[in-house]
Amino acid sequence: MRGPDYFRDAADMASTLGAAHAIRVRCNGREDQYWRRYMSDMLSYEAPNRGNLRSSLVDAFNSAFKNASRLYQTCDNAAIQAESDFAVRGQEIAIRMATHYFPKDSDLPPASNRP
């Protein structure tokens, strides 16, 4: 079920990906689209159609990208550590989302009892 917590986590994930992408681009150049590909995949799964959710996620990504671009003007140790920290944060969010918002087969009633 997608409730307020889900939307908050999805926006946090988009922001985290945007910030990590800004640092990666700063350090490796515009050709490096590693974190942007994760965002693209997330949009494909979570918000494949145009609408408020997709717009909100794209806005969160872009806003975090701009903020991190201003904050990390050079690729130094602080920027590299920040990208690593964002990666850890993104993994934590992904685990939380997978655990709390998406049922596993063991959480579902037997197939014979499903509508």
pLDDT tens-digit series, residues 78-107: 999 999 999 999 999 999 988 887 766 555
CA-CA distance, 25 to 32, in Å (whole number)? 6
Residues 6+ apart with CB under 8 A from 114: 108
Quick: pLDDT tens for 10-57: 999 999 999 999 999 999 999 999 999 999 999 999 999 999 999 999
Beta carbons within 8 Å of 25's beta carbon, 6+ residues apart: 32, 69
Question: Tens digits of per-residue pLDDT, 74-86?
Answer: 999 999 999 999 9
Distance from C-alpha of 10 to C-alpha of 51, rounded to nearest angstrom? 15
The pTM assigned to this predicted structure is 0.86
Buried b / exposed e across 4-36, counting CB within 10 Å, b at 16+?
A: eebeebbbbbbbbbbbbbbbbbbeeeeeeeebb
Boundaries of every domain in the chain: 4-101
